[in-house]
A and B are shown apart, each in its own frame.
Chain A
Amino acid sequence: MKKEFMKKFAVVMLSLVMVFAMAACGGSSGGSSDSGSESAEAVLYVGATGPLTGGASFYGNAVKQGAMIAAEEINASETEFRIEFRMEDDEADGEKAVNAYHVLQDWGVQVVLGSVTTGSCVAVAGETFEDRVFEITPSASSSDVTNGKDNVFQVCFTDPNQGKTAANTILELYPDAKVAAIYNNSDPYSTGIFNAFKAEMEANGKELVEAATYPDDTNADYSAQLTACKSAGADVVLLPIYYTPASVILKQAADMGYEPTFFGLDGLDGILDMEGFDTSLAEGVMLMTPFNPWSDDAKVAEFVKKYQDAYGELPNQFAADGYDTMYVIYETFKAAGCTTDMSNEEICDAMVAAITGGFSYDGVTGEGMTWSTDGTVSKDPVVVVIKDGQYQDR
Chain B
Amino acid sequence: MKKITSKGLSPYRKNEIISYGIAILGFAVISVLRSLGMVSSSLQGQLVPICAYVIMAVSLNLVVGISGELSLGHAGFMSVGAYTGIVVSGIMGTMGAADPVRFFAAVIAGALAAGVAGFLIGIPVLRLRGDYLAIVTLAFGEIIKNIMNIVYAGIDENGFHISTKSDYGLSAEGRMLLNGPMGATQVDRISTFFYGFILVMVTLFVVQNILNSRQGRAIMACRDNRIASESIGLNVMKNKLMAFTVSSALAGMGGVLFGLNYSTLLPIKFNFNTSILILVFVVLGGLGNIWGSMIAAIVLTVLPEALRQFADYRMLVYAVVLIVVMIATYNPAIRSRVSAFAEKYLRRKKPDAAPAEGGAD
Chain A residues with a Cβ under 8 A of chain B:
2, 5, 8-9, 12, 15-16, 19-20, 22-24, 26-27, 30-31, 52-53, 88-89, 93-96, 98-103, 105-106, 118-119, 122-123, 125-127, 130, 142, 144, 147-148, 185-188, 190-192, 195, 199, 215
Kindly specify which of B56-64, B198-206, B305-313 makes contact with the partner chain. B305-313
Chain A residues with CB under 8 Å of B40's CB are: 102, 106
Kindly specify which of B94-102, B111-119, B127-135, B259-267 makes contact with the partner chain. B259-267
Whether A99 lies near B268 (C-beta < 8 A) is no
Picked from A20, A53, A103, A105, the residue with its CB within 8 Å of the CB of B305 is: A103
State which residues 246-297 of B face A: CB under 8 Å: 262-269
Please, which residue of chain B has its CB at the minimum distance from the CB of A191?
Answer: B181
Picked from B150, B187, B310, B327, the residue with its CB within 8 Å of the CB of A185 is: B150
Chain B residues with CB under 8 Å of A187's CB are: 181, 268
Whether B312 lies near A99 (C-beta < 8 A) is no
Bound together, the chains give a CA A93 to CA B316 distance in angstroms of: 18
Q: List 12 A-B contacts (CB under 8 A).
A: A16-B320, A23-B314, A24-B310, A26-B310, A52-B312, A99-B45, A102-B44, A125-B263, A127-B263, A186-B146, A191-B166, A191-B181
Whether A8 lies near B327 (C-beta < 8 A) is yes
| B9 close to A (CB within 8 Å) | no
Bound together, the chains give a CA A89 to CA B316 distance in angstroms of: 14
Majority secondary structure of chain A interface residues (helix, strand, loop or mixed):
helix
Chain A residues with CB under 8 Å of B146's CB are: 186, 215
Beyond A5-B331, A16-B324, A98-B262, is A23–B310 a contact (Cβ under 8 Å)? yes
Chain A residues with CB under 8 Å of B310's CB are: 20, 23-24, 26-27
Whether A186 lies near B149 (C-beta < 8 A) is yes
Bound together, the chains give a CA A31 to CA B311 distance in angstroms of: 8
Whether A106 lies near B262 (C-beta < 8 A) is no
Bound together, the chains give a CA A12 to CA B327 distance in angstroms of: 9
Please, which residue of chain B has its CB at the minimum distance from the CB of A25?
Answer: B313
Please, which residue of chain B has its CB at the minimum distance from the CB of A24?
Answer: B310
Bound together, the chains give a CA A26 to CA B189 distance in angstroms of: 36
Picked from B186, B267, B327, the residue with its CB within 8 Å of the CB of A186 is: B267
> Among the interface residues A101, A130, A191, which one has the most CB atoms of the partner chain B within 10 A?
A191
Q: Give the A-B contact count at a CB cut-off of 8 A.
A: 135
| B49 close to A (CB within 8 Å) | yes
Chain B residues with CB under 8 Å of A94's CB are: 262, 264-266, 269
Bound together, the chains give a CA A123 to CA B263 distance in angstroms of: 5
Picked from B189, B267, B268, B316, the residue with its CB within 8 Å of the CB of A126 is: B189
Beyond A5-B331, A102-B42, is A23–B317 a contact (Cβ under 8 Å)? yes
Bound together, the chains give a CA A29 to CA B146 distance in angstroms of: 40
Instruction: Write the B171-214 contact mask toward A (1 if CB under 8 angstroms, else 0).
Output: 00000000111110111010000000000000000000000000
Chain A residues with CB under 8 Å of B187's CB are: 126
Picked from B186, B308, B323, the residue with its CB within 8 Å of the CB of A103 is: B308
The 10 closest A-B pairs by CB, nearest first: A126-B263, A23-B310, A102-B45, A23-B313, A122-B264, A30-B311, A188-B182, A144-B185, A102-B42, A105-B41
Picked from B45, B181, B185, the residue with its CB within 8 Å of the CB of A147 is: B185
Picked from A2, A53, A119, the residue with its CB within 8 Å of the CB of B264 is: A119
| B167 close to A (CB within 8 Å) | yes
Whether B312 lies near A105 (C-beta < 8 A) is no
Please, which residue of chain A has its CB at the minimum distance from the CB of B265?
Answer: A94
| B315 close to A (CB within 8 Å) | yes
| B46 close to A (CB within 8 Å) | yes
Bound together, the chains give a CA A266 to CA B31 distance in angstroms of: 47
| B333 close to A (CB within 8 Å) | yes
Bound together, the chains give a CA A94 to CA B274 distance in angstroms of: 13
Whether A99 lies near B46 (C-beta < 8 A) is yes
Nearest-neighbour CB distance to chain A for B299, whole angstroms, equals 15
Whether A106 lies near B41 (C-beta < 8 A) is yes
Bound together, the chains give a CA A26 to CA B308 distance in angstroms of: 11
Whether B311 lies near A23 (C-beta < 8 A) is yes
Chain B residues with CB under 8 Å of A122's CB are: 185, 263-264
Whether B311 lies near A27 (C-beta < 8 A) is yes
Whether B266 lies near A199 (C-beta < 8 A) is no
Bound together, the chains give a CA A12 to CA B189 distance in angstroms of: 43
Beyond A26-B310, A147-B185, is A95–B41 a contact (Cβ under 8 Å)? no
Whether A119 lies near B149 (C-beta < 8 A) is no
Beyond A26-B313, A27-B310, is A102–B323 a contact (Cβ under 8 Å)? no
